[in-house]
Amino acid sequence: MEKTFHLDASAFSNPPPGATYVLLVLDYDKLVKESDENNNVKAVGLNPQLVISSVKTPTKVGGLNTFISTDPITLTATVTPPVADVAVHWSVLGVQAARSVFDFPSDEVHNTDSQGISTLLFTPSENDTFVQNRQFIWTTGSMQANPPIQFEVEATIASSGQTISAYLSQTSLGMLEQDETDTLRQEYVDFAIAVPDRTVIVPSLGQEFNNGPYNVQVSLDLLGHYNTILSLYQGRSAVYGGDSFTIPISARVIISNAFRNPRYNKAIGSEYPSSKYPHQGSKHCYGQALDLVPCPCPIPLNINGRATMPDLDQFWYPALGAAIIDAKLSPLPEQGAKPLNPPHGTGVGDPRENHLHTQW
Protein backbone atom coordinates (compact mmCIF):
# COMPACT_ATOMS: atom_id res chain seq x y z
CA MET A 1 0.00 0.00 0.00
CA GLU A 2 1.41 3.36 -1.02
CA LYS A 3 1.96 5.99 1.56
CA THR A 4 0.38 9.36 0.93
CA PHE A 5 1.18 12.59 2.65
CA HIS A 6 -0.90 15.63 3.46
CA LEU A 7 1.40 18.49 2.52
CA ASP A 8 1.17 22.19 2.89
CA ALA A 9 2.79 24.44 0.34
CA SER A 10 6.01 24.83 2.29
CA ALA A 11 6.80 21.16 1.76
CA PHE A 12 7.61 21.78 -1.89
CA SER A 13 10.88 23.44 -0.98
CA ASN A 14 11.87 20.38 1.10
CA PRO A 15 9.87 17.30 0.01
CA PRO A 16 9.48 14.70 2.81
CA PRO A 17 11.01 11.23 2.38
CA GLY A 18 8.69 8.74 0.70
CA ALA A 19 6.46 11.31 -1.02
CA THR A 20 4.91 9.69 -4.09
CA TYR A 21 3.60 12.74 -5.92
CA VAL A 22 2.84 16.42 -5.63
CA LEU A 23 0.28 18.52 -7.51
CA LEU A 24 1.41 21.60 -9.41
CA VAL A 25 -0.96 24.21 -10.79
CA LEU A 26 -0.06 26.78 -13.43
CA ASP A 27 -1.53 29.84 -11.81
CA TYR A 28 -1.26 32.76 -14.28
CA ASP A 29 -3.32 35.12 -12.19
CA LYS A 30 -2.14 34.05 -8.71
CA LEU A 31 -5.58 32.86 -7.65
CA VAL A 32 -4.28 30.02 -5.42
CA LYS A 33 -3.37 31.24 -1.94
CA GLU A 34 -0.70 29.60 0.22
CA SER A 35 -2.29 30.76 3.43
CA ASP A 36 -2.41 27.70 5.69
CA GLU A 37 -1.52 24.05 5.96
CA ASN A 38 -4.89 22.98 4.55
CA ASN A 39 -3.80 24.32 1.18
CA ASN A 40 -2.33 21.24 -0.48
CA VAL A 41 -1.61 22.88 -3.84
CA LYS A 42 1.55 24.65 -4.83
CA ALA A 43 0.95 27.51 -7.27
CA VAL A 44 3.86 27.75 -9.70
CA GLY A 45 4.07 31.19 -11.28
CA LEU A 46 5.09 30.88 -14.93
CA ASN A 47 5.18 33.65 -17.52
CA PRO A 48 2.99 32.48 -20.41
CA GLN A 49 3.86 33.21 -24.01
CA LEU A 50 1.43 34.74 -26.48
CA VAL A 51 1.82 34.83 -30.26
CA ILE A 52 -0.51 35.60 -33.14
CA SER A 53 -0.30 32.23 -34.81
CA SER A 54 -2.38 32.48 -38.00
CA VAL A 55 -4.15 34.91 -40.30
CA LYS A 56 -6.60 33.89 -42.99
CA THR A 57 -7.90 35.97 -45.89
CA PRO A 58 -9.17 34.80 -49.30
CA THR A 59 -5.76 35.28 -50.92
CA LYS A 60 -2.13 35.39 -49.85
CA VAL A 61 0.29 36.74 -52.44
CA GLY A 62 3.74 38.25 -52.26
CA GLY A 63 3.87 38.13 -48.46
CA LEU A 64 0.53 39.94 -48.14
CA ASN A 65 -2.68 38.55 -46.72
CA THR A 66 -4.91 40.47 -49.10
CA PHE A 67 -8.64 41.14 -49.07
CA ILE A 68 -11.44 43.51 -49.96
CA SER A 69 -13.51 45.04 -47.20
CA THR A 70 -16.42 42.62 -47.62
CA ASP A 71 -14.16 39.61 -46.98
CA PRO A 72 -14.14 37.96 -43.54
CA ILE A 73 -10.71 37.95 -41.88
CA THR A 74 -9.76 35.36 -39.27
CA LEU A 75 -6.80 35.47 -36.88
CA THR A 76 -5.75 33.16 -34.07
CA ALA A 77 -3.50 33.73 -31.09
CA THR A 78 -1.91 30.92 -29.08
CA VAL A 79 -1.09 30.92 -25.39
CA THR A 80 1.64 28.53 -24.22
CA PRO A 81 1.59 26.50 -22.10
CA PRO A 82 -1.94 25.86 -23.42
CA VAL A 83 -4.66 26.79 -20.95
CA ALA A 84 -8.39 27.09 -21.58
CA ASP A 85 -10.46 30.18 -20.77
CA VAL A 86 -7.62 32.67 -20.79
CA ALA A 87 -9.08 36.05 -21.78
CA VAL A 88 -7.35 37.29 -24.92
CA HIS A 89 -8.05 40.93 -25.76
CA TRP A 90 -8.01 41.76 -29.48
CA SER A 91 -7.62 45.17 -31.12
CA VAL A 92 -7.51 46.07 -34.82
CA LEU A 93 -5.87 49.31 -35.93
CA GLY A 94 -6.40 50.81 -39.38
CA VAL A 95 -3.25 51.74 -41.32
CA GLN A 96 -2.66 53.62 -44.60
CA ALA A 97 -6.07 54.18 -46.25
CA ALA A 98 -7.82 53.10 -43.03
CA ARG A 99 -5.59 55.14 -40.72
CA SER A 100 -8.21 57.69 -39.63
CA VAL A 101 -11.05 55.18 -39.18
CA PHE A 102 -12.15 53.89 -35.79
CA ASP A 103 -14.68 51.35 -34.49
CA PHE A 104 -12.78 48.28 -35.58
CA PRO A 105 -12.56 45.59 -32.86
CA SER A 106 -10.96 47.17 -29.79
CA ASP A 107 -10.23 45.26 -26.59
CA GLU A 108 -12.61 42.55 -27.86
CA VAL A 109 -12.30 39.46 -25.64
CA HIS A 110 -12.21 35.90 -26.98
CA ASN A 111 -11.21 33.22 -24.48
CA THR A 112 -8.82 30.44 -25.37
CA ASP A 113 -10.01 26.91 -26.03
CA SER A 114 -8.51 23.75 -24.52
CA GLN A 115 -5.51 24.08 -26.84
CA GLY A 116 -4.80 27.62 -25.70
CA ILE A 117 -6.09 29.16 -28.95
CA SER A 118 -8.19 32.32 -29.18
CA THR A 119 -9.88 33.27 -32.46
CA LEU A 120 -10.85 36.69 -33.82
CA LEU A 121 -13.17 37.00 -36.82
CA PHE A 122 -13.97 40.41 -38.29
CA THR A 123 -15.19 41.85 -41.58
CA PRO A 124 -14.12 45.45 -42.26
CA SER A 125 -17.37 46.39 -44.03
CA GLU A 126 -19.35 45.59 -40.88
CA ASN A 127 -17.86 48.78 -39.44
CA ASP A 128 -20.35 51.53 -40.39
CA THR A 129 -17.78 54.26 -39.74
CA PHE A 130 -15.40 52.60 -42.16
CA VAL A 131 -18.08 52.21 -44.86
CA GLN A 132 -19.09 55.87 -44.54
CA ASN A 133 -15.45 56.88 -44.82
CA ARG A 134 -15.00 54.82 -47.99
CA GLN A 135 -18.17 56.17 -49.60
CA PHE A 136 -17.44 59.81 -48.70
CA ILE A 137 -13.71 60.04 -49.44
CA TRP A 138 -12.98 57.30 -51.93
CA THR A 139 -15.82 57.69 -54.46
CA THR A 140 -14.80 61.07 -55.83
CA GLY A 141 -13.29 61.29 -59.29
CA SER A 142 -9.52 60.76 -59.28
CA MET A 143 -6.79 59.91 -61.74
CA GLN A 144 -4.53 58.62 -58.96
CA ALA A 145 -4.35 55.07 -57.65
CA ASN A 146 -5.81 54.51 -54.19
CA PRO A 147 -3.49 53.54 -51.35
CA PRO A 148 -4.14 50.04 -49.97
CA ILE A 149 -6.13 49.32 -46.84
CA GLN A 150 -3.94 47.79 -44.14
CA PHE A 151 -4.50 46.64 -40.58
CA GLU A 152 -2.27 46.05 -37.59
CA VAL A 153 -3.64 43.53 -35.10
CA GLU A 154 -2.75 43.28 -31.40
CA ALA A 155 -3.61 40.51 -28.95
CA THR A 156 -2.99 40.84 -25.19
CA ILE A 157 -3.39 38.79 -22.02
CA ALA A 158 -2.96 39.71 -18.36
CA SER A 159 -0.51 37.72 -16.23
CA SER A 160 0.71 38.46 -12.72
CA GLY A 161 -0.47 42.02 -12.98
CA GLN A 162 1.36 42.56 -16.26
CA THR A 163 0.14 42.81 -19.85
CA ILE A 164 1.65 40.50 -22.43
CA SER A 165 1.17 41.70 -26.03
CA ALA A 166 1.59 40.16 -29.46
CA TYR A 167 1.43 41.98 -32.81
CA LEU A 168 0.79 40.63 -36.29
CA SER A 169 3.60 42.79 -37.67
CA GLN A 170 6.06 40.98 -35.37
CA THR A 171 5.32 37.60 -36.96
CA SER A 172 6.39 35.99 -40.22
CA LEU A 173 2.75 35.52 -41.25
CA GLY A 174 2.79 38.51 -43.61
CA MET A 175 1.02 41.84 -43.44
CA LEU A 176 -2.75 42.19 -43.46
CA GLU A 177 -2.74 44.51 -46.47
CA GLN A 178 -4.37 44.79 -49.88
CA ASP A 179 -2.26 43.99 -52.91
CA GLU A 180 -2.74 46.12 -56.03
CA THR A 181 -5.38 43.78 -57.44
CA ASP A 182 -7.56 44.05 -54.34
CA THR A 183 -6.86 47.79 -54.04
CA LEU A 184 -8.39 48.11 -57.52
CA ARG A 185 -11.27 45.76 -56.64
CA GLN A 186 -11.97 47.84 -53.52
CA GLU A 187 -13.01 50.75 -55.76
CA TYR A 188 -15.97 48.68 -56.95
CA VAL A 189 -16.91 47.89 -53.34
CA ASP A 190 -16.76 51.60 -52.48
CA PHE A 191 -19.03 52.51 -55.40
CA ALA A 192 -21.42 49.65 -54.50
CA ILE A 193 -21.20 48.13 -57.99
CA ALA A 194 -20.40 44.56 -59.03
CA VAL A 195 -16.87 43.58 -58.01
CA PRO A 196 -14.79 41.81 -60.69
CA ASP A 197 -13.23 38.52 -59.69
CA ARG A 198 -9.47 38.38 -59.27
CA THR A 199 -9.33 35.97 -62.21
CA VAL A 200 -10.30 38.69 -64.72
CA ILE A 201 -7.72 41.18 -63.46
CA VAL A 202 -4.51 40.99 -65.46
CA PRO A 203 -1.21 42.87 -65.64
CA SER A 204 -1.68 46.13 -67.53
CA LEU A 205 -1.96 45.64 -71.29
CA GLY A 206 -0.30 49.02 -71.82
CA GLN A 207 -1.49 52.59 -72.15
CA GLU A 208 -3.70 51.83 -75.14
CA PHE A 209 -5.77 49.34 -73.18
CA ASN A 210 -5.41 50.74 -69.68
CA ASN A 211 -6.42 54.34 -69.10
CA GLY A 212 -6.24 54.04 -65.33
CA PRO A 213 -3.33 54.56 -62.90
CA TYR A 214 -2.88 50.94 -61.77
CA ASN A 215 -0.37 48.39 -63.02
CA VAL A 216 -3.24 45.91 -63.28
CA GLN A 217 -6.57 46.12 -65.07
CA VAL A 218 -9.77 44.26 -65.83
CA SER A 219 -9.89 42.66 -69.25
CA LEU A 220 -12.52 40.42 -70.76
CA ASP A 221 -10.50 39.80 -73.92
CA LEU A 222 -9.95 43.45 -74.82
CA LEU A 223 -6.98 42.56 -76.98
CA GLY A 224 -8.82 39.73 -78.75
CA HIS A 225 -11.81 41.90 -79.63
CA TYR A 226 -9.57 44.70 -80.87
CA ASN A 227 -7.55 42.36 -83.07
CA THR A 228 -10.74 40.86 -84.53
CA ILE A 229 -12.12 44.30 -85.43
CA LEU A 230 -8.79 45.40 -86.88
CA SER A 231 -8.52 42.28 -89.06
CA LEU A 232 -12.02 42.89 -90.42
CA TYR A 233 -11.23 46.55 -91.08
CA GLN A 234 -7.84 46.37 -92.76
CA GLY A 235 -8.11 45.22 -96.38
CA ARG A 236 -11.88 45.58 -96.57
CA SER A 237 -13.51 47.27 -99.56
CA ALA A 238 -15.69 50.30 -99.09
CA VAL A 239 -17.38 52.75 -101.44
CA TYR A 240 -16.77 56.48 -101.44
CA GLY A 241 -18.07 58.87 -104.08
CA GLY A 242 -19.16 55.99 -106.25
CA ASP A 243 -15.72 54.40 -106.34
CA SER A 244 -14.58 51.30 -104.50
CA PHE A 245 -11.63 51.70 -102.20
CA THR A 246 -9.65 49.02 -100.38
CA ILE A 247 -8.51 50.03 -96.94
CA PRO A 248 -4.76 49.46 -96.72
CA ILE A 249 -3.44 46.68 -94.52
CA SER A 250 -1.40 49.34 -92.75
CA ALA A 251 -4.45 51.42 -91.81
CA ARG A 252 -4.43 52.19 -88.11
CA VAL A 253 -7.25 52.24 -85.59
CA ILE A 254 -6.50 54.18 -82.43
CA ILE A 255 -7.90 53.04 -79.08
CA SER A 256 -8.96 56.24 -77.36
CA ASN A 257 -10.41 54.43 -74.33
CA ALA A 258 -10.46 50.87 -73.10
CA PHE A 259 -10.28 49.92 -69.40
CA ARG A 260 -11.04 52.66 -66.89
CA ASN A 261 -11.18 52.06 -63.13
CA PRO A 262 -14.28 53.53 -61.42
CA ARG A 263 -12.60 56.62 -59.90
CA TYR A 264 -10.89 57.46 -63.18
CA ASN A 265 -14.16 56.85 -65.00
CA LYS A 266 -15.89 59.35 -62.74
CA ALA A 267 -13.05 61.86 -63.07
CA ILE A 268 -13.55 62.12 -66.84
CA GLY A 269 -17.29 62.72 -66.47
CA SER A 270 -18.85 59.34 -67.14
CA GLU A 271 -22.40 58.84 -65.85
CA TYR A 272 -21.44 55.44 -64.49
CA PRO A 273 -21.47 55.13 -61.57
CA SER A 274 -23.39 58.23 -60.45
CA SER A 275 -26.47 59.25 -58.50
CA LYS A 276 -28.44 58.73 -61.72
CA TYR A 277 -27.10 55.18 -62.14
CA PRO A 278 -25.99 54.36 -58.57
CA HIS A 279 -25.30 50.64 -58.94
CA GLN A 280 -24.18 50.43 -62.56
CA GLY A 281 -20.61 50.52 -63.76
CA SER A 282 -19.56 51.49 -67.24
CA LYS A 283 -18.54 48.58 -69.47
CA HIS A 284 -15.17 50.32 -69.59
CA CYS A 285 -14.82 49.56 -65.86
CA TYR A 286 -15.18 45.85 -66.59
CA GLY A 287 -12.80 45.58 -69.53
CA GLN A 288 -15.73 45.05 -71.91
CA ALA A 289 -15.64 48.18 -74.07
CA LEU A 290 -13.45 49.94 -76.63
CA ASP A 291 -13.59 53.46 -78.02
CA LEU A 292 -12.05 53.38 -81.51
CA VAL A 293 -10.89 56.09 -83.89
CA PRO A 294 -9.93 55.36 -87.53
CA CYS A 295 -6.81 57.02 -88.88
CA PRO A 296 -7.22 58.17 -92.52
CA CYS A 297 -4.42 56.98 -94.76
CA PRO A 298 -2.64 59.40 -97.13
CA ILE A 299 -3.80 57.49 -100.23
CA PRO A 300 -5.81 59.51 -102.75
CA LEU A 301 -8.89 58.35 -104.60
CA ASN A 302 -9.53 59.21 -108.22
CA ILE A 303 -13.06 60.63 -108.21
CA ASN A 304 -14.32 62.41 -111.31
CA GLY A 305 -10.81 62.66 -112.60
CA ARG A 306 -9.45 64.35 -109.48
CA ALA A 307 -7.21 63.09 -106.73
CA THR A 308 -8.96 63.29 -103.39
CA MET A 309 -8.87 61.85 -99.89
CA PRO A 310 -11.78 59.93 -98.39
CA ASP A 311 -13.73 61.93 -95.86
CA LEU A 312 -13.27 60.85 -92.22
CA ASP A 313 -16.97 60.83 -91.34
CA GLN A 314 -18.32 59.66 -94.68
CA PHE A 315 -15.79 56.91 -95.36
CA TRP A 316 -13.45 55.90 -92.56
CA TYR A 317 -15.96 55.86 -89.70
CA PRO A 318 -18.61 53.93 -91.71
CA ALA A 319 -15.93 51.41 -92.79
CA LEU A 320 -14.86 50.90 -89.17
CA GLY A 321 -18.51 50.62 -88.10
CA ALA A 322 -19.05 47.89 -90.70
CA ALA A 323 -16.03 45.99 -89.37
CA ILE A 324 -17.44 46.21 -85.83
CA ILE A 325 -20.75 44.81 -87.06
CA ASP A 326 -18.91 41.97 -88.83
CA ALA A 327 -17.32 41.21 -85.45
CA LYS A 328 -20.88 40.68 -84.16
CA LEU A 329 -20.77 43.84 -82.08
CA SER A 330 -22.58 47.17 -82.33
CA PRO A 331 -20.91 50.51 -83.15
CA LEU A 332 -22.14 53.52 -81.21
CA PRO A 333 -20.93 56.91 -82.46
CA GLU A 334 -20.18 59.27 -79.60
CA GLN A 335 -18.96 62.79 -79.00
CA GLY A 336 -17.19 62.33 -75.71
CA ALA A 337 -19.79 60.48 -73.64
CA LYS A 338 -22.70 61.83 -75.69
CA PRO A 339 -24.31 59.22 -78.00
CA LEU A 340 -25.04 60.30 -81.57
CA ASN A 341 -27.40 57.53 -82.60
CA PRO A 342 -30.96 58.69 -83.44
CA PRO A 343 -32.65 60.63 -81.97
CA HIS A 344 -29.49 62.25 -80.61
CA GLY A 345 -27.71 62.31 -83.97
CA THR A 346 -27.54 60.75 -87.40
CA GLY A 347 -25.62 57.65 -86.37
CA VAL A 348 -22.28 56.45 -87.71
CA GLY A 349 -20.93 59.21 -89.94
CA ASP A 350 -22.33 62.05 -87.82
CA PRO A 351 -19.76 64.85 -88.23
CA ARG A 352 -19.69 65.41 -84.46
CA GLU A 353 -18.42 61.91 -83.66
CA ASN A 354 -14.91 61.57 -82.24
CA HIS A 355 -14.94 57.81 -81.72
CA LEU A 356 -17.01 54.67 -82.11
CA HIS A 357 -17.88 52.94 -78.86
CA THR A 358 -18.43 49.20 -78.83
CA GLN A 359 -19.00 46.82 -75.93
CA TRP A 360 -19.81 43.21 -75.17
Mind listing the pLDDT tens digit for each residue in 164-205? 999 999 999 999 999 999 999 999 999 999 999 999 999 999
Q: Is the pLDDT of residue 4 over 70?
A: no
Domain assignment present for residue 195? The answer is no
Mind listing the pLDDT tens digit for each residue in 71-84? 999 999 999 999 99
| Domain that residue 70 falls in | 49-190
Whole-number Cα distances in Å, 34 to 39, 126, 159, 242, 308:
6, 48, 18, 111, 109
Tell me, what CATH number does 248's domain have? 3.30.1380
Instruction: Give the pLDDT confidence score for residue 18 in this predicted structure.
Output: 59
Count up the domains in the chain and report the number.
3
Which residues, in sequence order, are bridge partners of residue 55?
A: 75
d(CA 97, CA 175): 15
> Does residue 85 share a domain with residue 16?
no
CA-nearest of 297, 342, 344 to 320 is 297
Q: What is the mean pLDDT of residues 53-64?
A: 96
Residue ending a domain, among 190, 219, 253, is 190
CA-nearest of 201, 235, 360, 214 to 290 is 360
CB 307 within 8 A of CB 332: no
Q: What is the mean pLDDT of residues 236-263?
A: 92
Domain assignment present for residue 279? The answer is yes
Whole-number Cα distances in Å, 21 to 8, 12, 26, 44, 210:
13, 11, 16, 15, 75
Q: What is the mean pLDDT of residues 213-235?
A: 98
> Does residue 337 share a domain with residue 252?
yes
Domain assignment present for residue 134? The answer is yes
Domain assignment present for residue 12? The answer is yes
Domain assignment present for residue 197? The answer is no
Mind listing the pLDDT tens digit for each residue in 261-291? 999 999 998 876 665 666 677 999 999 999 9
pTM metric for this prediction: 0.83
Domain assignment present for residue 132? The answer is yes
Q: Is the pLDDT of residue 7 over 70?
A: no
Q: At what angle do helices 317-326 and 222-233 cross, to 10 degrees?
A: 120
d(CA 277, CA 13): 79
CB 68 within 8 A of CB 189: yes
